[in-house]
Amino acid sequence: MAQREIQSLDPFFRPRSVAVIGASNDPLKAGRQITYNLQAMGFLGPIYPVNPREQEILGLRCYPSIQAIPDPVELVVLIIPSAAIHATMAEIEARVRARGDIKAIICAAAGFAEMGTEEGRERQRVLVETSRRLGIRVLGPNCVGVIDTRGRIDTTFVETLLPVEHKTRAGGISFLSQSGALAVSILMWGTSRPVPLAMNKLITVGNMGDVDLLEMLEYLEHDPHTRVIGMYLEGYPRARELMTTLGRITRKKPVVVLKVGRTEQGATAAHSHTGSLAGADRIYDAAFRQHGVIRVGSLEELMDTLQAFDQLPLPQGNRVFLLTQAGGPGIYCTDILSSYSELRFASLSPAAREELARLLPPMAAVCRPEGYADITASADKHQHARSVELLLAEPTVDGLLLITVPPMFLPPLELAAELKAACQRAGQEGQQAGRAVQKPFLPVIMAGQWVHEARALLEEAGIPTFETPDRAARALANLVRYAEFQSLRRAGDIGAGV
Amino acid sequence: MAQREIQSLDPFFRPRSVAVIGASNDPLKAGRQITYNLQAMGFLGPIYPVNPREQEILGLRCYPSIQAIPDPVELVVLIIPSAAIHATMAEIEARVRARGDIKAIICAAAGFAEMGTEEGRERQRVLVETSRRLGIRVLGPNCVGVIDTRGRIDTTFVETLLPVEHKTRAGGISFLSQSGALAVSILMWGTSRPVPLAMNKLITVGNMGDVDLLEMLEYLEHDPHTRVIGMYLEGYPRARELMTTLGRITRKKPVVVLKVGRTEQGATAAHSHTGSLAGADRIYDAAFRQHGVIRVGSLEELMDTLQAFDQLPLPQGNRVFLLTQAGGPGIYCTDILSSYSELRFASLSPAAREELARLLPPMAAVCRPEGYADITASADKHQHARSVELLLAEPTVDGLLLITVPPMFLPPLELAAELKAACQRAGQEGQQAGRAVQKPFLPVIMAGQWVHEARALLEEAGIPTFETPDRAARALANLVRYAEFQSLRRAGDIGAGV
């Protein structure tokens, strides 16, 4: 895609002004929620609600029509009955002919081609063809809109019931979805974590009447704030082109994909949903592997892996160490780690092994088996922190997992503060690309509400935490997988004289 | 195990009185937490804290020694340094010789055989041999104790930071664990759900110095309040006996096992932890299948499956229907359901299909594919409820999954109230054994905090809810698996003329 075309997507994420056609004062209407979300996100430009029956919406002056807005409008959000599309597009056309200002439309309204009716298809044609004539890009129809935490834009009608500061936080994760509900769920789970998932952009493409998945993917490729791309995929008609693009992107940043339609039944359901073709899943799977795309098996793995890529450095190798304060959860996690052929258990140097045994309680099981230490429930916060620090500095370890189930005599918040300090000493905190000594550290502090604040303390310091041992193990395996792909590709490039 | 021996375990769960040797006023000591938990659980008999340095603990009179307690003591909880075990057992012996009252000891203290030292083994010998001489049963040492929601006993030192009424609620799930930390984590996750997991008993066996896993399993076999048994298992020396017992129990009630040590590395770690033997996992796996034990792959699956068995009726067959309000999550779930060879997608009768299409929005995709309906985001609460009711009454459906991601214009609590009413009309609420028309209904209302109250409303009515589509799918598959095992076994019994 040419640079010019990519730039045509900018107004979706950093428009100078937004009009909401179909804004409302009714708390059960999406038109009110969209206006509210734009305000709540702290959008810096003017917001123009449009509704002929209202004077004011959420303290903003409301306009009877798009024509009546005196100042320039760059982005329009449409949340109108689809039957009104002809009249609305006529007004938009009149305005643009006169003022040339509107550059992008997000059509959140449904009732278009997804209906499977001729009427629906015709309405979508009117929306898209009018826009194209006017040089306006259209996202949707039948989409949930976009969120951009840095552009301070939220055109979704998602109600999270949360104070604004807990809704999301700026990070490097961009999520691109062929399902609005799935994107919304990721957002809602994200906001229910100890600290919200660190999002950059959230994009739902709906019917892809104009802007499609591939264009948005290329947009994210060039977006400097996107450190990792997540994608929910049912299928894409130009699959070869998609794969070529993915192969190019994964040289620069990781792409994590939840691709559905693995099974025949699933593929049939996907075909009903977005018209994606059945039967191609094995081809997708092989292409993902070839192009270094990380394919995940569950929603949890998707979220955890995105967070790990956003916040952790890539491992330099595949040698992992598991430090556990609790036998059962540790053994459980060992089974999961062992099931990944990509991973090896680290073999400590004799000096490190001795040092670790020295600083742990006498009953600790150190390196039985290799790459594993049960520090036992008698380990205090200092023993936790010192063993973490030792292993982060140990050259025979590429990635470190910690499992701990703090009992009542080890207050989780105090433990977290010690762990944070240990990471800081090891140069781990707020990990960014380009740090000198760093390796992924994945703590699992269990369980539930009892450790919520402790996890929040680490997460606020840029150290991701994980809900269960297996979730951390899967995220670490995906980091190793991508790191190995990158290093093999570099080796291949060198070998081919590139 | 003889009836007499089983009865010898009663004092762990419904003692007339409890003494806590090593009780404390120090908020960071387990001896205070145990006393607090006993009180908070509403234990009906007297609680006697024992500590020579305190007059009163948490408003209770504190005794300088076990000897000084004037009234009968049935259960003793020991939370003392292991070095004090000789003196403590001497006092217990003196008391029992004189009064013959103590029947059971829960030794929560650590520092015994698990240390791997001769000193530790000797201390455990003193604990166990003295007790045996006196006819006292011992749980532990090095265990986290027990919880019994009906006996109102909680001898653990778990701090959940929650008000008592949210800590747990009486239900039919009993969980037996070879890992204290894992049992504690299950409890803590359980209390962090929309409504706490409905527990009957929680038992950690620690070093199994006297009472062992198998005895407790037999106790649960005969416990009328235990509807389903959950177990965390590393290994058991008399594996054949364990399997015979399991095979007998699964005729009466389901047993759900998380068995670790699947891999060589995991087995080695398990051997370090509880001395369980490596290499036998495949044998365990085959025996579990043969004996109708449901083996689960993750902590989440363990909890979800226990909840499903406790609250849902067993399906009469394997034909499942998936009703989804959201395309993406529905397709995702279809893939998971399809991956279970035990399940089939239901094929509705033409009448039911027509009726379903009639009551849903026009753009709904009904039975494309079979056993699947996408009711779309435009489905209102009545359309949700009516389609659920229709499918619960439909004889071609054995189990029903619902996925819904309520948008802001469909308030989750209102939706939940309609779903609850639909279940009541279909005779689903508070499902108990022996109901006439009933089938498992597994709703997934997404996601996070936004739907917390809605899920709580259903759960309080006895309808389990699930965090993600795949978690519900796995639980349903396990219900079907056990139901099929039961029906094959019955068929086999009849064939063999039994």
Q: Are strands B47-50 and B137-139 parallel, antiparallel or unpaired?
A: unpaired
User: Cis before residue B395, ω within 30 degrees of 0?
Assistant: no
Mean pLDDT across the stretch B161-172?
Answer: 66
Contacts of A30 in chain B (CB under 8 A): 407-409
- Dihedral sign (CA A360, A362, A367, A373): negative
3-state SS assignment for residue A153? strand
On whether the CB atoms of residues B136 and B200 are closer than 8 A, the answer is: no
Residue of B nearest to A191 (CA): B448
Average pLDDT in chain B: 92
Q: What is the ipTM of this complex?
A: 0.94
d(CA B392, CA B450): 27
Which residue, B226, B230, B231, is CA-closest to B252? B226
Q: Which amino acid is at B445?
A: I
Rounded to the nearest angstrom, the minimum Cα separation between A132 and chain B is: 27
Which residue, A403, A404, A400, A426, is CA-closest to A345? A400
Q: Dihedral, CA atoms, B169, B170, B175, B180, nearest 10 degrees?
A: 40
Residues 6+ apart with CB under 8 A from A345: A319, A320, A321, A322, A337, A369, A370, A371, A372, B265
pLDDT in tens, B327-378: 999 999 999 999 999 999 999 999 999 999 999 988 898 988 999 999 999 9
Question: What tokens does B353 get?
Answer: 């299909």
Burial B62-94 (b: 16+ CB within 10 A, else e): bbebbeebeeebbbbbbbbebeebeebbebbbe
Contacts of A374 in chain B (CB under 8 A): 269, 272-273
d(CA B9, CA B137): 7
A329 and B181 in contact by Cβ < 8 A?
Answer: yes
- Top residue of B28, B177, B185 to mutate, by most chain A CBs within 10 Å, is B185
Contacts of A448 in chain B (CB under 8 A): 160, 185, 188-192
Contacts of B470 in chain A (CB under 8 A): 298-299
On whether the CB atoms of residues B131 and B125 are closer than 8 A, the answer is: no
A408 and B261 in contact by Cβ < 8 A?
Answer: no
B335 and A265 in contact by Cβ < 8 A?
Answer: yes
Contacts of A266 in chain B (CB under 8 A): 331-332, 334-335, 338
User: Cis before residue A433, ω within 30 degrees of 0?
Assistant: no
H/E stretch holding B307 reads: helix B299-311
Rounded to the nearest angstrom, the minimum Cα separation between B414 and chain A is: 13
User: Cis before residue A447, ω within 30 degrees of 0?
Assistant: yes
Contacts of B260 in chain A (CB under 8 A): 328, 331-332, 334-335
pLDDT in tens, B365-420: 898 899 999 999 999 999 999 999 999 999 999 999 999 999 989 999 999 999 99
Contacts of B268 in chain A (CB under 8 A): 368-369
d(CA B465, CA B448): 12
Mean pLDDT across the stretch B252-257?
Answer: 98
Q: Which amino acid is at A15?
A: P
Contacts of A362 in chain B (CB under 8 A): 115
Rounded to the nearest angstrom, the minimum Cα separation between A221 and chain B is: 24
Residue of B nearest to A471 (CA): B298
Q: Which amino acid is at B151?
A: G
d(CA A323, CA A333): 10
B338 and A405 in contact by Cβ < 8 A?
Answer: no
Please determine, for residue B2, whether its predicted confidence score (pLDDT) is greater than 70. no
- Cα distances from A58 to residues A22, A24, A363, B351, in angstroms, run 14, 9, 63, 48
Contacts of A269 in chain B (CB under 8 A): 327, 330-331, 334, 368-369, 372, 374
Q: Which of B260, B363, B374 sits opposite A332 (nearest CB)?
A: B260
Q: How many beta-carbon pairs under 8 angstroms link A with B? A: 273
d(CA A411, CA A389): 20
Give the pLDDT confidence score for residue A437 in this predicted structure: 44
Residue bearing tokens 């009716």 = A117
Question: What tokens does A305 get?
Answer: 């892996």
Residue bearing tokens 């990380």 = A294
Please spell the DSSP secondary structure of B245-275, one letter per residue: HHHHHTTTS-EEEEE---SHHHHHHHHHHH-
Neighbours of A298 (CB within 10 A): 18
Residues 6+ apart with CB under 8 A from A393: A426, A437
Beta partners for residue A404, in sequence order: A445
Contacts of A371 in chain B (CB under 8 A): 265
Give the pLDDT confidence score for residue A50 in this predicted structure: 98
Q: What is the DSSP letter of B63?
A: B
Rounded to the nearest angstrom, the minimum Cα separation between A165 and chain B is: 15
H/E stretch holding A383 reads: helix A381-393
Positions in chain A whose pLDDT score sits under 50: 433-437, 494-498
On whether the CB atoms of residues B35 and B157 are closer than 8 A, the answer is: no
- Cα distances from A210 to residues A105, A136, A181, A378, B332, in angstroms, run 10, 10, 20, 61, 26
Please spell the DSSP secondary structure of B216-243, one letter per residue: HHHHHHH-TT-SEEEEEES--SSHHHHH
Q: How many residues does chain A have?
A: 498
Which residue, A258, A215, A214, is CA-closest to A233? A258
pLDDT in tens, B53-64: 999 999 999 999
B266 and A331 in contact by Cβ < 8 A?
Answer: yes
Contacts of A365 in chain B (CB under 8 A): 272-273
B185 and A405 in contact by Cβ < 8 A?
Answer: yes
B331 and A266 in contact by Cβ < 8 A?
Answer: yes
3-state SS assignment for residue A198? strand
Residue of A nearest to B116 (CA): A363
Give the pLDDT confidence score for residue A94 in this predicted structure: 98
Give the pLDDT confidence score for residue B265 in this predicted structure: 87
Neighbours of B307 (CB within 10 A): 25
Q: Which of A234, A338, A447 sits opposite B185 (nearest CB)?
A: A447
Q: Are strands B137-139 and B146-148 parallel, antiparallel or unpaired?
A: unpaired
Burial-class residue B432 by CB neighbours within 10 Å (0-12, 13-18, 19+). Answer: exposed
Residue of B nearest to A260 (CA): B332
A450 and B334 in contact by Cβ < 8 A?
Answer: no
Q: Which of A234, A378, A405 sits opposite B184 (nearest CB)?
A: A405
On whether the CB atoms of residues B453 and B406 are closer than 8 A, the answer is: no
On whether the CB atoms of residues B221 and B249 are closer than 8 A, the answer is: yes
Q: How many residues does chain B have?
A: 498
For helices B180-191 and A327-338, what crossing angle results, to 10°?
90
3-state SS assignment for residue A289? helix
Which residue, B39, B35, B105, B96, is CA-closest to B76? B105
- Top residue of B29, B296, B339, B450 to mutate, by most chain A CBs within 10 Å, is B450
Burial A247-284 (b: 16+ CB within 10 A, else e): bebbeebbbbbbbbbbbebbbbbbbbbbebebebbeeb
- Top residue of A191, A335, A343, A446 to mutate, by most chain B CBs within 10 Å, is A335
d(CA A307, CA A474): 12
Question: What tokens does B326 get?
Answer: 């959201």
Q: Are strands B344-345 and B319-324 parallel, antiparallel or unpaired?
A: parallel
Q: Which pLDDT band, with edges at 50, 70 and 90, does B426 fall under? A: confident
A273 and B331 in contact by Cβ < 8 A?
Answer: yes
Q: Which pLDDT band, with edges at 50, 70 and 90, does B112 fall under? A: very high
A179 and B326 in contact by Cβ < 8 A?
Answer: yes
- Top residue of B335, B336, B367 to mutate, by most chain A CBs within 10 Å, is B335
Starting at the edge strand found earlier in the chain, the sheet holding A169-177 runs A153-154, A146-148, A198-204, A169-177, A228-233, A255-259, A294-295
- Top residue of A331, A344, A345 to mutate, by most chain B CBs within 10 Å, is A331
Question: What tokens does B302 get?
Answer: 């363990």
Q: Which of B192, B326, B338 sits opposite A448 (nearest CB)?
A: B192
CA B277 to chain centroid, in Å, comes to 25
A372 and B265 in contact by Cβ < 8 A?
Answer: yes
Q: Which of A186, A188, A328 sits opposite B178 (nearest CB)?
A: A328
Q: Are strands B344-345 and B399-404 parallel, antiparallel or unpaired?
A: unpaired
Q: Which of B269, B328, B447 sits opposite A331 (nearest CB)?
A: B269
Whether the predicted model's global pTM rises above the 0.90 cut: yes
Which residue, A141, A266, A139, A267, is CA-closest to A202? A139
A327 and B192 in contact by Cβ < 8 A?
Answer: no
Residue of A nearest to B411 (CA): A28
Q: Which of B265, B268, B470 sits opposite A298 (nearest CB)?
A: B470
B449 and A161 in contact by Cβ < 8 A?
Answer: yes
